[in-house]
Amino acid sequence: MLILQKEIECLNREKDIQSKLISELESSLELHKFKSDTLQKELSEAKSAIAPVKNIASTNTYSQVLQKNVKNEKNVESSVLLVKSADRNNRDDVLQVLSKTIIPSRLNICISGTKKIKEGVAVYCKGDDDVAKLKNAVNGQLNGRLTANELKKYNPRLLVKNVNFSDDIKDDKMLIENIVGLNDMDDHADLKVITKIERTRQIVLEVSPDLRKKLLTRGYVWLGWRKCPIVDHLRITQCFRCCKFGHIAKQCKSSTSACIKCSRDHMANQCEVASDQVKCINCVSYGSKSKSHVQVNHAANDSHCPAYINYVRNLKNRINFD
Ligand SMILES: [Zn+2]
Ligand SMILES: [Zn+2]
Ligand SMILES: [Zn+2]
| Among 299, 158, 316, 321, residue whose Cα is nearest residue 238 | 299
What's the pLDDT score for residue 190? 82
Tell me the C-alpha distance between 216 and 62, whole Å: 14
Task: Please indicate, yes or no, if residue 27 is contained in any of the structural domains.
Answer: no
298 Cα to the center of ligand 3, angstroms = 6
Domain that holds residue 226: 157-233
Q: Is residue 5 part of a domain?
A: no
Minimum-distance ligand to the CA of 266? 2
Q: State how many domains the chain has.
A: 3
Distance from residue 279's CA to the centre of ligand 2 (Å): 9
Ligand 2 centroid to 16 CA: how many Å? Answer: 53
Residue 161, number of CB atoms within 10 A of its CB:
16
Helix, strand and coil in the chain, % to nearest 5: 45, 20, 35
CATH number of the domain that 96 lies in? 3.30.70.260
Per-residue model confidence (pLDDT) at position 112: 87
Least distant ligand from the CA of 275? 2
60 within some domain: no
**258 and 227 part of one domain:** no
Nearest ligand to the C-alpha atom of residue 307: 3
Q: What is the pLDDT of residue 43?
A: 55
* 95 and 136 together in one domain: yes
Q: Are residues 146 and 162 in the same domain?
A: no
First to last CA, the chain: 109
Residue 66 lies in a domain: no
Q: Which ligand is nearest to the CA of 52?
A: 2
| Domain finish residue from 135, 150, 165 | 150
Give the residue from 268, 265, 276 showing the smallest Cα distance to 56.
268
Going from the Cα of 254 to the center of ligand 1, the distance in angstroms, rounded, reads: 6
What span, in angstroms and rounded, lies between the C-alpha atoms of 234 and 159? 9
Residue 21: what pLDDT?
57
Beta carbons of 125 and 110 less than 8 angstroms apart = yes
Q: Is residue 20 part of a domain?
A: no
- The pLDDT value given to residue 228: 95
- Residue 57 resides in a domain: no
The alpha carbon of 78 and the centre of ligand 3 are apart by a number of angstroms equal to 19
Which of 303, 305, 300, 311 minimizes the C-alpha distance to 263?
Answer: 300
Residue at 39 is within a domain? no
Give the pLDDT confidence score for residue 36 in this predicted structure.
52
Ligand nearest to the CA of 242: 1
122 CB neighbour count, 10 Å cutoff: 15
| 259 closest CA partner among 306, 300, 305, 288 | 300
pLDDT at res. 295: 94
Alpha carbon of 270 to ligand 1 centroid (Å): 18
Distance between Cα 271 and ligand 1 center (Å): 18
Residues with CB under 5 A from ligand 1 (ion): 239, 241-242, 252, 254
Q: Does 304 reside within a domain?
A: yes
Q: Show which of 233, 267, 298 is a domain's final residue.
A: 233
Q: How far is CA 265 from the centre of its chain?
A: 21
229 lies in the same domain as 268: no
Show pLDDT as tens, one digit a residue, over the chain (322 residues): 777 888 777 677 777 666 665 555 554 554 444 445 445 544 554 554 444 444 443 344 444 444 444 433 443 456 889 999 887 766 668 888 899 999 999 999 999 888 888 888 999 998 889 999 999 999 999 888 899 998 888 999 999 999 999 888 888 999 999 999 898 887 777 899 999 999 999 999 999 999 999 999 999 999 988 899 999 999 899 999 999 999 999 999 999 999 999 999 998 888 999 988 999 999 999 998 888 899 999 999 999 999 999 999 888 888 988 8
